[in-house]
Chains A and B, each alone.
Chain A
Amino acid sequence: MTLTAETFDFVAALVRRNSAIQLERGKEYLVESRLAPLARSAGAADVDAYVRSMRADVTKHDIVVEALTTNETSWFRDLNPFTVLRTTVFPDLKARNKNSVRIWSAACSTGQEAYSIAMIIADNFPSVQANIVATDLADGVLVKGRSGRYTQLEINRGLPAPMLVKHFERQGPSFEISSQLRSQVVFRKHNLLDSPPAGGPFDIVFLRNVLIYFDVATKREVLKRIQGAMTPGGYLFLGAAETTIGVDESWERIQVGSSSVYRPRGKRV
């Protein structure tokens, strides 16, 4: 089943207008798979028919954008950044007598990343006060993140069992994170192209698997704004396949084992 060029172009334009995410040719499969469930619920014959039926209805545009901009998410995704937090970043912050740390989880989706960070801190650095701001474009994921409730399938993905029993409680078919950890994360609607969200300046920023969707000029813009919202000794985490090299030379890359973490160049406390 292939999409018509017309359908793809319309969806790509819609998504680009509302999120700066670029869907290039070759990403038809993504549009197909993300919109198929919507098409099915709407009773449309296929994605082409669904898009044809909703293009004139502005109230339906948001859900299409949301379906295309949500990331596949899991707990402790890629693992390494969280290890780096534990072995390198927090010991450094502690050595600098930082007992109150501000963290930004950008493009947070349903909140697993933000809560994963909260769990690392609670389990390893209980005396540190963590203030985590989690932002995303889409309202639906923010509501879910705030609820701290996840399905069995979602809880299965990447969450170690000892952390499950320590930080979550089963509520019927769902698992809910403890109110203590839930209170450490504030979810806010935010577009990366806008000025950074309140809650900064941030000591740690997670911006993972988002830059890949942007063109180079937008990448630079976003990275510049983020650096402006960070403390001088701050740490930036990108996705495993991403880097600032070749995009923005104002970051220093530090290797920790097989991962990289980025710090504003030349600025230290």
Chain B
Amino acid sequence: MKALVIDDSRVMRKIVSNVLVGVGFECIEAENGQVALDQLEAHSDVVLCCIDWNMPVMTGFEFVVAARKRPEWRNVTLMMVTTEGEQDQIVRALAAGAHEYVLKPFTPEVIIAKLQFLGLVDLKEMA
């Protein structure tokens, strides 16, 4: 399974990738929303995107809006991973088509639990 980790911080991309690799994903990266769109075009087997909000060139929110316009990416799970924690921001992101929302700071278990709920990771495989 392939995941796309989108964050302008290399540190954060590394942290998120490590969590995902630990549960069986292969990870590719993008440092802003525009590069992320390019990556999705190039890799048709991405099933999950972990998306930061505040990035240069194109924000994570703008990426979600753009990605949801593409029917061929309907089945890609979009998970925000961000410090933007106001209620309004969470509502906006979900309304725009994000499936999940992780607040920074987070533990690996937080992301894994959400992936389980989404059906992307099977509990039994964890044993």
Contact = CB atoms under 8 A, between A and B. Distances in A.
Contacts of B116: 79
Contact of A156 (B86, B91, B110): B110
B22 interface: no
B117 A152 contact: no
Interface in B94-125: 94, 98-103, 105-107, 109-110, 113-114, 116-117, 123-124
Interface residues of A, number: 19
A155 B86 CA distance: 13
Contacts of A157: 107, 109-110, 113
A161 B78 CA distance: 12
Contact of B117 (A79, A156, A170): A79
Contacts of A155: 103
Nearest to A155: B103
A78 B99 CA distance: 20
A78 B123 contact: yes
A258 interface: yes
Nearest to B109: A157
B100 A158 contact: no
Contacts of B123: 78-80, 258
B42 to A, nearest CB: 28
Nearest to B95: A165
Contacts of A153: 105
Contacts of B56: none
B87 A170 contact: yes
B122 to A, nearest CB: 9
Interface string A137-162: 00000000000000011011110111
Contacts of B24: none
A39 interface: no
A22 B87 CA distance: 43
A162 B94 contact: yes
A160 B117 contact: yes
B37 to A, nearest CB: 23
5 contacts: A79-B113, A156-B102, A156-B107, A158-B117, A170-B87
